[in-house]
Amino acid sequence: MAGHSKWANIKHQKARSDEKRGKEFTKISKEITIAVRTGASSDPDSNSKLKLAIQKAKAINMPNDNIARAIKKGSGDSDSDALEEIIYEGYAPAGVAVMLEIATDNRNRTASEIRHLFSKHNGNLGESGCVAWMFKRVGLITINKEDLSVDEEEFMLQVLELGADDVRDEDDVFEVITTPDSFMDIKEAMEAANYKIGEADVVLLPENTVEINELDTAVKVIKLIELLEDHDDVQNVYANMDIPDEIMEKL
């Protein structure tokens, strides 16, 4: 789990260029469109997946017009019919398992491009099911310890009473783990209790990890993950790497 939190923190700390911002808008727009279509509702109050996607859009200051267009597209625009969700699985260097959540209107093109990225950077795009067993879909809510207004033990007790499955101590943050179904209710209850939430999403967390103790190997793994994240059709990338602090700091 530590690898997930450390990598997420690094991504959040990176400067946002206009190009990066545009890519973020595109990915969130796709997420909104798919949420409307799969949830069969354009009302966020009755579609929790859409509600979360809109919250994420507002968190990166996406204009309301963009959000409205994405909702309209999911509600019946013909272009949205071609957009499909796919899961790709593979291996990065050092045997690190990688899961990709894809949203594409051209399955063959995307598969070819993703396969090329894996092979060019010492990885391998695998068959369906090759690494999925290593991951579990959960709700993940992070809280920076410095933002807590109560002591850590009290925080853990309160969150577990709200219905969280687990609370994990990961260096400077707590990870609150929930079921996907209870995620939104617990997130809103924590916000109502005035907790300052960091990352909050339904994600794929690894149930076992690969520890990387060499800088050169860590650089190769991170390089591939960054390239996959930058691909227009990749919505999310999950990996079971665990990179020690001393190596992560050098990155």
Tens digits of residue pLDDT in 153-203: 888 999 999 999 999 988 788 899 999 999 999 999 999 988 889 889 999
* Residue 2, pLDDT score: 45
Return the SS3 of 88: strand
* CA dihedral sign, ordered 64, 70, 74, 75: positive
Note the pTM of the prediction, 2 decimals: 0.84
Longest dimension (CA), the chain: 52
Which residues are bridge partners to 137 per DSSP?
Answer: 204
**pLDDT above 90 for 234:** yes
**pLDDT above 90 for 240:** yes
